[in-house]
């Protein structure tokens, strides 16, 4: 059975709103941003393969490849993915992330936009 990437979107929302305890709030928020990105990216990746004949390399290069494929088809989706990718990198690699609660909200909006704009 094919995984429904919308479930990652739902997990991200759950993580953002339901940290296990107060010590995990930042970790859950950072993880939420990462899950929002991967939910949107994998949905867009599958869309590009099905609708745009994108040839996946199953490598890290697909992250930029999908955005390039979408620029000519739906530039707004490419822009949302670009923002999400940058935010994910901040949350996964930086010791300090400014205004994390707002970043989580922005990531939720961007990921939901990708799902709304790319109907399969």
Boundaries of every domain in the chain: 6-117
pLDDT tens-digit readout, 79-120? 999 999 999 999 999 999 999 999 999 999 999 999 999 986
φ/ψ of 20, rounded to 5, equals -60, -40
Assigned fold of 6-117: 1.20.120
Q: What is the pLDDT of residue 114?
A: 97
Average pLDDT over residues 35-53: 93
0.95 exceeded by the pTM? no
Reported as a pLDDT band with limits 50, 70 and 90, residue 62 is: confident
pLDDT tens-digit readout, 10-34? 999 999 998 778 889 999 999 999 9
Tokens coding 96:
């300090």
**Cβ distance 16 to 29 under 8 Å?**
yes
Indicate if the pLDDT at residue 1 is higher than 70.
Answer: no
Tokens coding 66:
């999908």
Reported as a pLDDT band with limits 50, 70 and 90, residue 56 is: confident
Q: What is the pLDDT of residue 59?
A: 82
With residue 112 as reference, give the H or E element that holds it: helix 100-117
């Amino acid at each position: 059975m094919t995984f429904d990437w919308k479930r990652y979107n739902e997990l991200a929302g759950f993580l953002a709103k339901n940290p296990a305890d107060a010590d995990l709030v930042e970790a859950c928020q950072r993880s939420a941003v990462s899950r929002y990105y991967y939910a949107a990216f994998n949905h867009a990746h599958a869309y590009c393969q099905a609708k745009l004949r994108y040839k996946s390399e199953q490598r890290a290069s697909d992250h930029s490849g999908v955005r390039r494929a979408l620029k000519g088809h739906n530039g707004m989706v490419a822009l949302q993915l670009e923002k999400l990718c940058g935010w994910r990198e901040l949350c996964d690699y930086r010791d300090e992330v400014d205004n994390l609660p707002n970043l989580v909200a922005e990531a939720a909006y961007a990921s939901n936009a990708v799902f709304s704009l790319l109907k399969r």
